[in-house]
């Protein structure tokens, strides 16, 4: 399972012009379920996201986690994180999980984040979404959890 995590002061997602999810200070998490992923990967990724120390402490160092700050998370599905660009100019997405499985694990990931006590809002799986954010820093981190 893959995630692109962005520290934000705010973020929102719109579908057909209507805001369906937003967060204030916290994280925008773009998530992609890969072939072979299961609930264990979703839960492990959620645990890594909430513990990732990328928020400033009193000294201005990145030393605090989402759990430490009490920030929220906006979780948006993004199968294009599975892009294989090794050949030609058109990315391939065959490494992404099938849509039904992807949706199930995306929702499980969001629930796992919420289970850690984080306020979570989501986008709409498979929808054409417009995501707006104010990246704080900017801080953008790539995470990947693979089954064993």
Q: Which pLDDT tens digit goes with each residue over 19-34?
A: 999 999 999 999 999 9
Q: Is residue 98 part of a domain?
A: yes
Residue 115 is part of which domain span? 2-142
Give 76 or 146, the one with higher predicted confidence. 76
Give 146 or 21, the one with higher predicted confidence. 21
Q: Is residue 81 part of a domain?
A: yes
Q: What is the pLDDT of residue 148?
A: 53
Number of separate domains in the chain = 1
Catalytic, out of 80, 85, 122, 125: 80
Which of 39, 72, 42, 71 lies closest to 144 in space, CA to CA?
Answer: 42
Q: Is residue 116 part of a domain?
A: yes
Catalytic, out of 79, 122, 125, 140: 79
In this predicted model, what pLDDT tens digit does every residue of 74-99 receive, in sequence order? 999 999 999 999 998 999 999 999 99
Residue 78 annotated to the active site: yes
Q: Is residue 47 part of a domain?
A: yes
CA–CA dist 95, 21 (Å, integer): 27
Q: Is residue 147 part of a domain?
A: no
CB atoms within 10 A of CB 27: 30
Task: Count CA atoms closer than 13 A to 3's CA, side-chain side.
Answer: 30
Q: Is residue 104 part of a domain?
A: yes
Q: Virtual CA dihedral for 67, 68, 70, 76, nearest 10 degrees?
A: -40
Residue 85 annotated to the active site: no
Q: What is the CATH number of the domain that holds 15?
A: 3.50.80.10
Q: Is residue 123 part of a domain?
A: yes
pLDDT level of residue 146 (50, 70, 90 thresholds): confident
* Confidence (pTM): 0.95
In this predicted model, what pLDDT tens digit does every residue of 102-133 receive, in sequence order? 999 999 999 999 999 999 999 999 999 999 99
**Per-residue pLDDT for 67 more than 60?**
yes
Mean per-residue pLDDT, 40-59: 97
Q: What percent of the chain has pLDDT over 90?
A: 97
Q: Quick one: 9 exposed, middle or buried, by C-beta within 10 A (0-12, 13-18, 19+)? A: middle
Catalytic, out of 23, 33, 78, 122: 78
Residue 79 annotated to the active site: yes
Q: Is residue 20 part of a domain?
A: yes
């Amino acid at each position: 399972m893959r995630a692109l995590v962005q520290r934000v002061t705010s973020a929102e997602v719109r579908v057909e012009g209507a805001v369906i999810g937003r967060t204030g200070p916290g994280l925008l998490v773009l998530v992609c379920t890969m072939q072979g992923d299961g609930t264990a990967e979703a839960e492990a990724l959620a645990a890594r996201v909430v513990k990732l120390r990328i928020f400033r402490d009193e000294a201005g160092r990145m030393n605090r986690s989402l759990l430490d700050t009490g920030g929220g998370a906006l979780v948006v599905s993004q199968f294009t994180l599975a892009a294989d660009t090794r050949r030609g100019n058109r990315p391939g997405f065959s490494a992404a999980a099938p849509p039904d499985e992807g949706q199930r694990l995306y929702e499980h990931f969001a629930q796992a984040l919420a289970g850690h006590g984080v306020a979570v809002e989501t986008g709409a799986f498979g929808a054409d979404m417009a995501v707006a954010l104010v990246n704080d820093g900017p801080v953008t981190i790539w995470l990947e959890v693979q089954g064993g």
